[in-house]
Amino acid sequence: MIKKCMFPVAGYGTRFLPATKAMPKEMLPIVNKPLVQYGVEEALDAGLYEIAFVTGRGKRTINDHFDISYELEHQIAGTDKEQYLVGIRDIIDRAVFSTTRQREMKGLGHAILTGETLVGDEPFGVILADDLCFNEGGDSVMAQMVKVFRQVRCSIVAIEEVPEDQIHKFGCIDGEAVRDDLFRVTNMVEKPRKEEAPSNLAIIGRYILTPDIFDILRRTPPGKNGEIQITDALLQQARDGCVMAYRFKGQRFDCGSVDGFVEATNYCYEHLYKRGKL
Ligand code: UTP
């Protein structure tokens, strides 16, 4: 079954400048945890314990976060402050981390292709940590997708309905419904104008990909914004075989934008932190 999860974390995070000038966007905290830790927790919840980071320049603190900090451990050993490290210690014990670097930011598709060396010839999850997803009381979004993968055995993208005037920010799918939460993809467009969008079903930052995607990515020319788009490669994969789109249960916050980040912070503070769940 699937055990690997790729985290493309090489992006510049320009929407959060100047905060992201010397600090990765993925290390920005939502209450008391960096964004990327929520993503890794979701991967572990889904049984994906081999974590593969595709990083870039200035992202070293992501690796440091998932390593032991001896000075800190020594300093707080035996004090009541140790409780704050229980969660991250548990993650470090349960997961295995590997890293490669994307040298030039040529798009998400290019970042995923760069991660091939860490993933090899098996299906894998992809989590974009700036899409923060919660499904309180139920399976995490990646865990839901793993269950769907057991049934369909092909690449899956997570989707949600968005208002028509928002669709230009997303990859957009068209598809045939096979059940009310699952579509067989027939078309995909990256960041379409409202008039061009085939639906209001937007792709969010959760994928399960089969490894044939790498050969397709190698042949995919730069698309929108001159970047190698995973959406273009997935459309090819859908045409050659099958790609499914899964409407997940739960909610998503776009923490790559300031508004989404603040919403996520408020949600986590009210629903998780105040109830002792963070
Ligand atoms: P975004 O479109 O959010 O870009 O990338 P960004 O650089 O992170 O943020 P802004 O738009 O400048 O504020 C979506 C995801 O794809 C990764 C990013 O790290 C993010 O998780 N990505 C994007 C890469 O890893 N490499 C790329 O070349 C492009």
**pTM to 2 decimals?**
0.97
Separation CA 181–CA 173 (nearest Å): 13
Q: Which atom of ligand 1 is nearest to the CA of 227?
A: 28
Q: How close is the Cα of 12 to the center of ligand 1, in Å?
A: 6
* Ligand 1 centre distance from Cα of residue 128 (Å): 8
pLDDT (0 to 100) of residue 86: 87
Neighbour tally for 50: CB within 10 Å:
19
Tell me what pLDDT residue 69 has.
87
pLDDT score, position 73: 87
Which residue, judged by its Cα, is nearest atom 18 of ligand 1?
11
- CA-nearest residue for atom 7, ligand 1, is 11
Cα of 130 from ligand 1 centre, angstroms: 9
Distance 228 CA to ligand 1 centre (A): 12
For the chain, list the domains and their CATH numbers. Answer: 4-273 (3.90.550.10)
The residues lining ligand 1, judged by C-beta closer than 6 Å to any ligand atom, are 8-15, 25, 54, 102, 105-108, 110-111, 128, 130, 256
How far lies 11's CA from each of 103, 135, 160, 263, in Å?
11, 26, 23, 22
Q: Are strands 171-179 and 182-190 parallel, antiparallel or unpaired?
A: antiparallel
**pLDDT tens digits along 158-195:** 999 999 999 999 999 999 999 999 999 999 999 999 99
Write the DSSP string, 50-108.
EEEEEE-TT-HHHHHHTS--HHHHHHHTTSGGGGGGHHHHHHHHH-EEEEEE-SS---H
Q: Would you give the end-to-end CA distance of the chain in angstroms? A: 29
Q: From the CA of 248, how far away is ligand 1's center (Å)?
A: 22
**In this structure, what DSSP letter does residue 273 have?**
I
**Nearest-CA residue for atom 16 of ligand 1:** 108
Provide the pairing of β-strand 50-55 with 96-101. Answer: parallel
Low-confidence ranges of the chain (pLDDT < 70): none
- Beta carbons within 8 Å of 81's beta carbon, 6+ residues apart: none
Q: What is the pLDDT of residue 254?
A: 97
What's the pLDDT score for residue 12? 92
